[in-house]
Amino acid sequence: MSATRGWSTELEGLRGIASLWVLVGHISLLVHCHITLISSPGIGVDLFILLSGYLMAKNYVERQQKEPWQSTETIKKFWIRRFFRIAPLYYLLLIIALFYGPWFGEMRDTIAHFYSGTATESSRYNDQSLANILTHFSFLFGLLPEYGFNTVLPDWSIGLEMQFYLLFPFIMLVTLRFGYAASLIGIMALCCAGRYVLADYYEAFEMPSMILIKLNMFLSGMLLAEAIRRKSLLYVAFALLGPVASVAMGLGAIKLQVIMEALMIVGMTAILWQYPAGQPDGNADRSTA
């Protein structure tokens, strides 16, 4: 990691691996090529989530002196940066997806004619209702089971990411009050409790587009950032509580994915441990997910 840039080419490489994993995973599912690891795109998404949590926390801590966490200006700047990093391209693709959705649906039906196991519900492609448009442009769709996976785009993860960005400054404020590890582990525990208190709501989602389903993995990334900053194996152990929370929330049925979550945390630790703590942020905004 360059001390002048505050960025790691290894992290860029991990992003590339995550992107390729998601792409190849979906292609393998589409053509019925079921190779256990490769045909599991959710593992690639989890790697993206870990990287996002890590980078958000790392950069926010490094900016703390010039952008105090308690300042409303800091929170506003953070949200503006995040919004304009995601929204412009997303809105362009969303317009295309909504306008040409029925045509994409026809193409999907053609594929399903040859690969019957890939058939999907056509309403996802054909919904051009005002409600679907508004929930997607406002990024609220991820919180609503009926809209969380309701365009031709695989945009459920975009909604998930935007929910994390919305919560992130407040999570960091909580850490100031109750301590970093205690706060994040406590929030993980609340997510686990919510899984059972709001069971019907959690289970209504076709994809994990609602933040409480995946917040544990974002928090693992945040704990890993602190582990690297402190050079603390204890914090690495705290980060591994994210996969434990996945099991507690009933995701343990996907045993391979939970195991891979833990291995990714260990792997990121091995990659990042060599770098000194307190890297200057340099071009840090470039590095954020």
Q: How far is Cα 244 from Cα 258, in angstroms, rounded to an integer?
A: 8
Q: Is 232 left (phi over 0), alpha (psi -120 to 50) or beta?
A: beta
Q: Please check the confidence at residue 279 and state whether its pLDDT lies above 60.
A: no
Identify the residue whose tokens are 């195991």: 259
Q: Is 172 left (phi over 0), alpha (psi -120 to 50) or beta?
A: alpha
State the first-to-last Cα distance of the chain, in angstroms, to the nearest integer: 17
- The dihedrals phi and psi of 232, each to the nearest 5 degrees, come to -120, 115
In this predicted structure, what is the pLDDT of residue 277? 58
Using one digit for the tens of pLDDT, what is the confidence trace for 205-256? 989 999 999 999 999 999 999 999 999 999 999 999 999 999 888 865 567 7
Q: Is 2 helix (H, G, I), strand (E, B) or coil?
A: strand
Which tokens sit at 177? 């009050």
In this predicted structure, what is the pLDDT of residue 175? 97
Which pTM was predicted? 0.87
Per-domain residue ranges of the chain: 9-89+154-273
Q: How far is Cα 3 from Cα 189, in angstroms, rounded to an integer?
A: 36
> Is residue 102 exposed (0-12), middle (13-18) or buried (19+ Cβ within 10 Å)?
middle
The amino acid occupying position 113 is H
> Is residue 226 exposed (0-12), middle (13-18) or buried (19+ Cβ within 10 Å)?
buried
Identify the residue whose tokens are 């980060």: 239
Q: Report the number of secondary-structure helices (H) and strands (E) in the chain.
A: 14, 0
Using one digit for the tens of pLDDT, what is the confidence trace for 150-207? 998 989 999 999 999 999 999 999 999 999 999 999 999 999 999 999 999 999 998 9
In this predicted structure, what is the pLDDT of residue 104? 83
Contact 30, 118 (CB under 8 A): yes
Q: Please check the confidence at residue 149 and state whether its pLDDT lies above 80.
A: yes
Orientation of helix 211-230 relative to helix 41-62, angle to 10°: 50
Q: How confident is the model at residue 4 (pLDDT cuts 50, 70, 90)?
A: very low
Contact 100, 186 (CB under 8 A): no
Average pLDDT over residues 107-134: 78
